[in-house]
Amino acid sequence: MTDKTFKLNTGQDIPALGLGTWQSEKGKVKEAVVHALKAGYRLIDGAYCYGNEDEVGEGLAEAFKAGVVRREDVFVVSKVWATYNTRVELGLDKSLKSLGLDYVDLFLVHWPLLMNPEGNDDKFPKLPNGERDIIRSHNHVDTWKQMEKLLATGKTKAIGVCNYSKRYLEELLPHATVIPAVNQIENHPALSQQEIVDLCRDKGIHIMAYSPLGSTGGPLFSAEPVAKIAEKHGVKPAAVLLSYHLARGSTVLAKSVTPERIDENKKLIDLDGEDMKLLNDYSDKLTKEGKLQRFVYPPFGIDFGFPDKS
């Protein structure tokens, strides 16, 4: 399934499956990138905030040098961190330098807020009282206006956002000259975020699903419908959780630094209507019971407009 792609509103092809690199430890992530590219992955998802883009870049360089893949055949994603949301070109330059590349294929706003660019830390500035140093007067639309200017530099082929709720998208879109190519959001059957997926589909914004396995520790493997569908198809639960996004027309990011799992995670299957009904019913049930599970929600203390957090 590593050769399946979707079309972005820019005309670019984006692979359906990508390797995630958040929490991929230094000392392991280079090998993970090389292994994934050898295994046929053609999308690597990274970010300045992950603190490992230099090693991701080493993995890419090694794969290019060994002839595993050419630069133009890999879809490289990076993200501007919240302390750089008034300086997005500087953020992109820093990522490109670490990655050892002269362009990325997609550059995303990581979170729609501004943390103090002049605070006491480059990534997580804090106030003297220990709270996060956030500039609450900042409008996320202003960051997007800067992102739009990046396209003319050639340093990124496409621009997009992450962690945009329906409410935030509705605030952004009337002011956008360029419609985001992508909205990268946490997405799995325990957090289907259907209202965002539907709006994005309507506006031609491609969904990239993050934390598809429930992030650290794979907490979704034992969910009843997931286990049942895995048994029916004779696959592991991870295959069901990743394949769910293909059936929804989304790109899915699976993070692993374990070679066997990187191999395992590319064995995706076609879920049928009955499987999707089971998973959708499960999502609806959790929604009704107020039991949705969101695994990634940094304590910014800001209402980003997600119904389960508002």
Ligand X SMILES: NC(=O)c1ccc[n+]([C@@H]2O[C@H](COP(=O)([O-])OP(=O)(O)OC[C@H]3O[C@@H](n4cnc5c(N)ncnc54)[C@H](OP(=O)(O)O)[C@@H]3O)[C@@H](O)[C@H]2O)c1
Q: Name which of 127 and 217 has its Cβ closer to ligand X.
A: 217
- Under rule CB under 6 A, residue 210 binds ligand X: yes
- Shortest distance in whole angstroms from residue 128 CB to ligand X: 28
Of 143, 146, 192, 256, the residue at the interface with ligand X (CB under 6 A) is 256
156 and 106 Cβ atoms separated by less than 8 Å: yes
- Under rule CB under 6 A, residue 112 binds ligand X: no
Structure token digits, residue 179: 């419609």
Stretch that binds ligand X, among 62-70, 84-92, 152-160, 208-216 (CB under 6 A): 208-216
Q: Name which of 110 and 166 has its Cβ closer to ligand X.
A: 110
- Under rule CB under 6 A, residue 250 binds ligand X: no
Structure token digits, residue 40: 């046929």
Q: Name which of 260 and 274 has its Cβ closer to ligand X.
A: 260
- Under rule CB under 6 A, residue 222 binds ligand X: no
Structure token digits, residue 220: 């979704």
- Catalytic option among 48, 50, 84, 244: 50
Q: Name which of 64 and 300 has its Cβ closer to ligand X.
A: 300
- Under rule CB under 6 A, residue 53 binds ligand X: no
- Under rule CB under 6 A, residue 59 binds ligand X: no
- Shortest distance in whole angstroms from residue 110 CB to ligand X: 6
76 and 46 Cβ atoms separated by less than 8 Å: yes
- E-strand spans in 105-250? 106-109, 159-162, 182-186, 206-210
96 and 102 Cβ atoms separated by less than 8 Å: yes
Is 50 known to be catalytic?
A: yes
- According to DSSP, the β-strands at 159-162 and 75-80 are unpaired
Backbone φ and ψ of 89, nearest 5°:
-70, -35
Which residues 6+ apart lie within 8 Å of 43 measured at CB?
14, 15, 17, 18, 19, 74, 75, 76, 77, 251, 253
Q: Which residues carry out catalysis?
A: 50
Binding site for ligand X (CB under 6 A): 20-23, 45, 110, 162-163, 184, 210-216, 218, 238, 253-258, 261, 264-265, 296
